[in-house]
Amino acid sequence: MTNSLSIRLKPYLYVLPLVALLAFVFGYPLLRIFEFSFKLVRGVDGPWIGLRNYELILSQSLFWESVLHNIQLLLAIPAMVVISLLISILLFERIAGWRLYRVIVFVPFVLAIPIIAVVMKRMFQFSGPVNEVLRWASLDFLALDWIGSSDVALWTVMILIVWRESALGIILFLARLLSLDEAVLEAGRLDGANWWQRVWHIILPQMRGVIEFYVVVSVITMLASVFAYVYVMGGGRGGPGTATMVVEFYIFNALIRTSLPGIASAASVLLFLVSVLLIFPMFRARRRAREEEA
Amino acid sequence: MVPAAHSTHRRRFAFTAGDAVKQGVLIVASFIALVPTLYMIATALKSDAEYAVDKLGLPDAPVLENFRAVLIDSPFALWMLNSFILVAGSVLVSIVVSCLAAYAIARMEFRGRDTLLALSTSLMAVPPIVMIVPLFVLYTQLDLISTYQGAIIIYAGLITPFSVYLLTTFFRTVPNELFEAARIDGAGDFLILWQIVLPLSLPALLTLVVVNSLYVWNDLLIAIIFLQEDAKRTLMAGISVFQGRYNNQVPLTMAGMVIASAPMFILYIAFQKHFIRGLMAGAIK
């Protein structure tokens, strides 16, 4: 009797640390942001104030500007997909030297975002090396104030994001390509299909799942995981002015700079709801990607 | 015989145009991928005076002064130590927790098993910023801001869903006969996990260590919010502050960046195979 009870309890003992850890790091905060978002929190708690936090956020132009910036970052995704596809397919064809190329094109993903942001910021300074090259090439009209102009700053952040996140795409796509059925590709080759035809009719259809997955993951990144890029490029203020302000930074400011956890929580709730909406397509895409591979 | 002839024929035929273009594309891509690193290293070796007149070329007379200044005059070594402590602590906690859980999920029958795995896996898509506010308020209350243990728990939590997912998948591939044999020999579950499953899972564990260390080492968000005291700054939080302070001394800043990126770079070159496998596994998450 005691023996069978201990056998039945044993699995729970094994998963207990996991449940405790996830409950603390995910469960507790996810419940509390909802509670806090309806309260005027000063310090650790405060009175209920209904929807006032939400009303305040939604009526603030800075919040909407941040949302718009996150949405603008989505424009980077098509470029990332095209670049990643091109490079990963070329690597997959085992062009002479592909092992070395592979080591090199993964480098952006090994470098930490703050480090690369610091370096890029110096490269794109108005009197920095990028503009020097552009002027040397008589492309003066392109020698913009990449960091200091509020019209351009967010685009510069996007260049950095494309540069780094494309490496993730290459990694992901190459993993998928390496599991493709070589016989089908060889058959296409024997049928006399040229490179474009092989890519378009044979390779791409088999990569739909993984491309979809990469797109969804990138959408989550652009909307909710660009803090490190923006923190350094925007000089810790989302600057110049509010040109690189994003929702994450809005939450950060409300929490740390103005000490308004209620406001920060309401914005967190909105961001959480958006990410929940994206979790389902992500799972679907991942399932499809895995089915393709099987 | 026929396919071989065909393929050599194809290669010789195609090299003139197609392969040259492909090589060209990859060379350009490699150059773009490497340019920031090359710029960083070249600039770190220049003096301020040389950088003022030459921003692009190789250093004429390489100086090491910038590296000395960074290592001696700034708390770089301390920041690195802090980062290292956090990586070691959180990766260890996460591995222990996920090994136990993944073993139960992969090998035992219990109620709620599939729900637990689905829930844990779906947490991978929740952006960390969403959890920050209540944890910050709680940590302020408990005096856990700027403590290693506080940050380690958060990092461990953030990297664990992926670890559980990967290990569960891996443990399920261990052949059943091994378990049966061990059980007949009288081994308990813990012994089986420790002596049979873990040694077999070394590649998966190494992959996890790589992916998770990279995540914790490179993180800025948690570090900047939960480790605010100067003595507890991580490398990433430190350089984000450091770069603003020396805004005009670009070579000095770049020397700092070279030192900051060196550990992961050296690991990457030394353990290419594991890194690439780890990155590929991590990407699918």
Q: What is the DSSP string of chain A?
A: -HHHHHHHHHHHHHHHHHHHHHIIIIIHHHHHHHHHHTB--BTTB--B-TTHHHHHHHT-HHHHHHHHHHHHHTTHHHHHHHHHHHHHHHHHTT-TTHHHHHHHHTHHHHS-HHHHHHHHHHHTSTTSHHHHHHHHTT-GGG---TTT-TTTHHHHHHHHHHHHHHHHHHHHHHHHHTTS-HHHHHHHHHTT--HHHIIIIIIHHHTHHHHHHHHHHHHHHHHH--HHHHHHHTTTTT-STTTT--HHHHHHIIIIIS--HHHHHHHHHHHHHHHHHHHHHHHHHHHHHHHHH-
Sequence letter at residue B280: M
A57 and A31 assigned to the same domain: no
Name residues 26-85 of chain B within 8 A of A (Cβ).
26, 29-30, 32-34, 36-37, 39-40, 43, 55-56
Cβ distance A239 to A62 under 8 Å? no
Q: In sequence order, what are the residues at sequence separation of 6 or more whose Cβ sits closer than 8 angstroms to the Cβ of residue B247?
A: none
CB-based contact A264 B22, cutoff 8 Å: no
- Average pLDDT value over all residues in chain B: 87
Minimal Cβ distance to A264: which of B96, B109, B133:
B133
Contacts of B276 in chain A (CB under 8 A): 102-103, 106, 171
Query: Is B282's pLDDT higher than 70?
Result: no
A146 and A254 assigned to the same domain: yes
A163 and A99 assigned to the same domain: yes
Dump pLDDT digits (tens) for A11-39: 999 999 999 999 999 999 999 999 999 99
Helix (H) or strand (E) holding B81: helix B76-107
- Domain of A109? 53-293
Which one of A25, A28, A31, A101 makes the best mutation probe of the B interface by having the most chain B beta carbons within 10 Å? A25
Q: Tell me the CA end-to-end span of chain B in Å, nearest whole number.
A: 42
Q: Over A212-253, what HEC string results?
A: HHHHHHHHHHHHHCCHHHHHHHCCCCCCCCCCCCCHHHHHHH
Length of chain A in terms of residues written: 294
Residue of A nearest to B257 (CA): A115
CB-based contact B126 A30, cutoff 8 Å: yes
A23 and A164 assigned to the same domain: no
Tell me the CATH number at A110.
Answer: 1.10.3720.10
| pLDDT score for B220 | 95
Listed range (A38-47, A160-169, B132-141) with the worst mean pLDDT: A38-47
CB-based contact A225 B22, cutoff 8 Å: no
A29 and A79 assigned to the same domain: no
Rg (CA), chain B: 25
**In this complex, is the C-beta atom of A215 within 8 Å of any C-beta atom belonging to chain B?**
no
Token pair of A73 as six digits: 């970052």
A44 domain residue, yes or no: no
Minimal Cβ distance to B129: which of A133, A163, A251:
A251
Minimal Cβ distance to A112: which of B22, B236, B250:
B236
Length of chain B in terms of residues written: 285
Name residues 139-168 of chain A within 8 A of B (Cβ).
163, 167-168
CB-based contact B157 A278, cutoff 8 Å: no
Boundaries of every domain in chain B:
2-66, 75-245
Rg (CA), chain A: 24
Token pair of A34 as six digits: 């909802």
Dump pLDDT digits (tens) for A134-147: 999 988 888 899 98
Q: How confident is the model at residue B3 (pLDDT cuts 50, 70, 90)?
A: very low
Q: Under CATH, what is the fold of the domain B75-245?
A: MetI-like fold (1.10.3720)
| pLDDT score for B283 | 58
Q: How confident is the model at residue B155 (pLDDT cuts 50, 70, 90)?
A: very high
Dump pLDDT digits (tens) for B106-149: 988 899 999 999 999 999 889 999 999 999 999 999 999 999 99
Residue of A nearest to B154 (CA): A25
Average the pLDDT over A266-292 and give the result.
86
A174 domain residue, yes or no: yes
Query: Is B4's pLDDT higher than 70?
Result: no
A255 and A173 assigned to the same domain: yes
A48 domain residue, yes or no: no
Residue of A nearest to B106 (CA): A11
Query: Is A60's pLDDT higher than 50?
Result: yes
Dump pLDDT digits (tens) for A236-250: 888 898 999 999 999
Dump pLDDT digits (tens) for B203-246: 889 888 888 998 999 999 999 999 999 899 999 999 887 777 77
A111 and A172 assigned to the same domain: yes
**In this complex, is the C-beta atom of B218 within 8 Å of any C-beta atom belonging to chain A?**
yes
A175 domain residue, yes or no: yes
Listed range (A66-70, A74-78, A289-293, B281-285) with the worst mean pLDDT: B281-285
Token pair of A51 as six digits: 């929807």
CA distances from A37 to A41, A46, A59, A157, B140 (A): 9, 11, 16, 30, 18
Query: Is B257's pLDDT higher than 90?
Result: yes
**In this complex, is the C-beta atom of B4 within 8 Å of any C-beta atom belonging to chain A?**
no
State the total domains in chain A.
2
Dump pLDDT digits (tens) for A67-78: 999 999 999 999
Question: Residue B193 carries which DSSP code?
Answer: I
Query: Is B2's pLDDT higher than 70?
Result: no
By three-state DSSP, how is residue B247 classified?
A: coil
| pLDDT score for B5 | 42
Burial class (CB in 10 A: 0-12, 13-18, 19+), B73: exposed
A161 and A190 assigned to the same domain: yes
CB-based contact A268 B39, cutoff 8 Å: no
B110 CB neighbour count, 10 Å cutoff: 15
Q: Please give, rounded to a whole number of angstroms, the shortest distance from the CA of B186 to a CA of chain A.
A: 15
Residue pairs spanning A and B at CB distance below 8 A: 274
CA distance B175 to B98: 20
CA distance B205 to A197: 41
Contacts of A172 in chain B (CB under 8 A): 280, 283-284
| pLDDT score for A2 | 57
CB-based contact A19 B26, cutoff 8 Å: no
Average the pLDDT over A167-192 and give the result.
84
CA distance A237 to A71: 19
Q: Cis omega (within 30 of 0) on the bond before A240?
A: yes
- Average pLDDT value over all residues in chain A: 90
Query: Is B195's pLDDT higher than 50?
Result: yes
Dump pLDDT digits (tens) for B7-49: 444 444 445 577 888 999 999 999 999 999 999 999 999 998 8
Contacts of A108 in chain B (CB under 8 A): 33
The residue among A100 and A2 whose pLDDT is bigger is A100
A64 and A142 assigned to the same domain: yes
A23 and A151 assigned to the same domain: no
Name residues 94-133 of chain A within 8 A of B (Cβ).
95-98, 101-116, 118-123, 128-129, 132-133
A33 and A121 assigned to the same domain: no
| pLDDT score for B15 | 58
CA distance A269 to B54: 50
CA distance B238 to B78: 10
Average the pLDDT over B269-281 and give the result.
76
A23 and A116 assigned to the same domain: no
